[in-house]
């Protein structure tokens, strides 16, 4: 079955039919297609294109089809069509007869597919946000459970300053929280109805687009028919939100890969999310995290691919736009899978605070605190920095930590060295506590961040619970 036979009499090439079909991908839209069709039947009735009896017949046929599909998860097996819209019209003709031919009055697959793409984007954003909320909750659970654990903080992956482990976890919370708000934003922008835009110019039938928007759960009607039939911003924004979320996940994955290596040993992944080696019996590899890191590259590729498809297209609809779905489905599926696994890994992660603490002894993490203390005593920061730098050089050459310094030795590099400076050098707890600015790592500040994060997740859950499809 074709929706456009009349103009053609030549032979079809089956190889091109296969090349151009999108049913194998857009069959995922089938329930959206039925829902849009059901609402459109009412719009056509309102426009007096369909008699009430015809509208009832079509609606009954569409409902029968929806029930069939819901009953059979693999309904598409053995089916083929140019696309899902063609398939639905064909099936409807079989159930309801020739009246099915009236359904596509005043519309095009261009406004149809644009509508379904937006419905999919809106739903996918919600699914991703729900999964992200689980991950954020798992991070908060860890932060609450290990609220006093101190981690060596790294810059350039070199020891920098001590931080609370909870502070570290909350940094990822921030990233995933931004991902959620990005998804909510792109959902809000996708929330406008294309139907009624026709192929590009609108329709000659008095379709009540406002009513259609309401019936299909759209916040408003798209204001320009030309734009909306070829606008794939919702797909591009969704894929970008996925790509950036995967970048965040990939960085978390990289941290956990490093932190679970025996040289660090700060965390241990649950056996369920690790794998072994076929030759080395001792191996426990963080494959779950490596796959997330690897797949983030694929999602970045989906984004680049989609933007490249859009670039340079003449307005309005071009068949190139059919290719938006492959990128969008792949990005959403990959990201959803990755967020879900990351949440499970976080929920089952074993934490080794004693290993973190032991590691804070190395790397002269309190060097900045020493320099700051010298500043409090009146030195310019530049000379304080220089003195402490020389002290570190001395210790490093002898393989010592600050703890092993004698007062006499230290005062060769830092004039005025006393027991207070020695305490400053030794105590990572004090170093952490001193960073008492908003957003800093002091326990008081981190407790505030944690409380704010908890309120935020509760609010997110609340909002997600209230969204009606």
**Residues lying near ligand ARG in the complex (CB under 6 A):** 22, 26, 83, 109-110, 113, 317, 319, 321-322
User: What residues form DSSP beta bridges with 159?
Assistant: 154
Q: Which is nearer to ligand ARG, 113 or 460 (CB)?
A: 113
Taking the complex as a whole, how short is the minimal distance between the CB of residue 88 and ligand ARG, in angstroms?
A: 12
Taking Cα atoms as reference points, which of 370, 360, 364 lies closest to residue 424?
A: 370
Closest distance of CB 7 from ligand ARG, Å: 13
Which residues are known to be catalytic?
156, 277
Tell me the DSSP string of 386-448.
HHHHHHHHHHHHHT--GGG--HHHHHHHSTT--HHHHHHHH-HHHHHHH--STTSSSHHHHHH
Q: Which residues of 322-360 are buried (b: 16+ CB within 10 A; e: fewer)?
A: bbbbbbbbbbbebbbebbbbbbbbbeebebbeebbbebb
Cα–Cα distance between 94 and 215 in angstroms, integer?
A: 26
Compute the Cα dihedral for 97, 98, 99, 103 and give only its sign. Answer: positive
Omega within 30 of 0 (cis) for the link into 271:
no
Select 119 or 395, whichever has its Cβ closest to ligand ARG. Answer: 119
CB of 27 to ligand ARG, least distance (A): 11
Cα separation, 269 vs 287, whole angstroms = 10
Residue 224 CB, nearest approach to ligand ARG (Å): 19
Q: Please give the sequence-ordered ranges of beta strands (E in DSSP) within 165-303, or none if there are none.
A: 192-193, 220-221, 267-268
Residue 185: alpha-carbon gap to chain centroid: 13
If residue 150 lies in a helix (H) or strand (E), which one and from where to where? strand 150-155
């499970």: which residue's tokens?
Answer: 344
The secondary structure of residue 285, as a DSSP letter, is: B
Query: Would you say 1 or 451 has its CB closer to ligand ARG?
Result: 1
**Residue 159 C-beta: closest distance to ligand ARG, Å:** 53
Q: Quote the CA–CA distance of 445 and 427 in Å, as a whole number.
A: 19
Q: Which residue is it, tokens 């490596």? A: 290
CB of 133 to ligand ARG, least distance (A): 32
Q: For the chain, first and last CA: distance in Å?
A: 32
Minimal distance, residue 149 CB to ligand ARG, in Å: 51
């Amino acid at each position: 079955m074709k929706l456009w036979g009349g103009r053609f009499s030549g032979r079809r090439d089956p190889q091109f039919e296969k090349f151009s079909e999108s049913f194998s991908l857009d069959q995922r839209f089938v329930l959206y297609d039925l829902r849009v069709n059901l609402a459109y039947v009412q719009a056509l009735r309102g426009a007096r294109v369909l008699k009430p009896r015809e509208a009832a017949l079509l609606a009954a046929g569409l409902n029968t089809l929806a029930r069939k599909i819901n009953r059979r998860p693999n309904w598409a097996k053995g089916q083929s069509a140019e696309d899902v819209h063609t398939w639905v019209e064909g099936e409807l003709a079989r159930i309801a007869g020739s009246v099915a031919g009236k359904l596509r009055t005043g519309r095009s697959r261009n406004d149809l597919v644009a509508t379904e793409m937006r419905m999919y984007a809106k739903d996918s954003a919600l699914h991703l946000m729900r999964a992200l909320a689980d991950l954020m909750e798992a991070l908060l659970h860890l932060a609450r459970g290990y609220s006093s654990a101190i981690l060596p903080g790294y810059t350039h992956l070199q020891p920098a300053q001590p931080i609370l482990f909870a502070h570290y976890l909350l940094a990822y919370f921030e990233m995933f929280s931004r991902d959620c708000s990005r998804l909510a934003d792109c959902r809000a922008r996708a929330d406008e109805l294309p139907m009624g835009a026709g192929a590009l110019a609108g329709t000659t039938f008095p379709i009540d687009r406002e009513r259609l928007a309401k019936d299909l759960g759209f916040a408003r009607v798209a204001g320009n028919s030309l734009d909306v039939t070829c606008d794939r911003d919702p797909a591009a924004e969704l894929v970008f939100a996925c790509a950036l979320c995967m970048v965040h996940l990939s960085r978390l994955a990289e941290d956990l890969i490093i932190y679970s290596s025996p040289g660090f040993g700060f965390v241990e992944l649950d056996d369920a999310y690790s794998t072994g080696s076929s030759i080395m019996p001792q191996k426990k590899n963080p494959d779950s995290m490596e796959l997330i890191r690897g797949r983030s590259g694929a999602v970045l590729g989906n984004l680049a691919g989609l933007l490249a498809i859009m670039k340079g297209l003449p307005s309005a609809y071009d068949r190139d736009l059919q290719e938006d779905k492959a990128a969008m489905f792949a990005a959403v599926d990959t990201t959803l899978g990755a967020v879900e696994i990351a949440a499970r890994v976080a929920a089952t992660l074993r934490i080794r605070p004693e290993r973190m603490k032991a590691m804070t002894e190395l790397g002269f993490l309190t060097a900045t605190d020493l320099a700051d203390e010298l500043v409090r005593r009146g030195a310019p920061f530049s000379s304080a920095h220089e003195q402490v730098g020389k002290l570190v050089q001395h210790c490093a050459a002898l393989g010592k930590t600050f703890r092993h310094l004698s007062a006499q030795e230290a005062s060769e590099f830092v004039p005025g060295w006393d027991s207070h400076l020695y305490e400053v050098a030794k105590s990572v707890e004090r170093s952490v506590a001193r960073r008492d600015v908003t957003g800093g790592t002091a326990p008081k500040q981190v407790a505030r961040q944690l409380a704010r994060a908890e309120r935020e997740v509760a609010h997110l859950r609340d909002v997600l619970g209230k969204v009606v499809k």
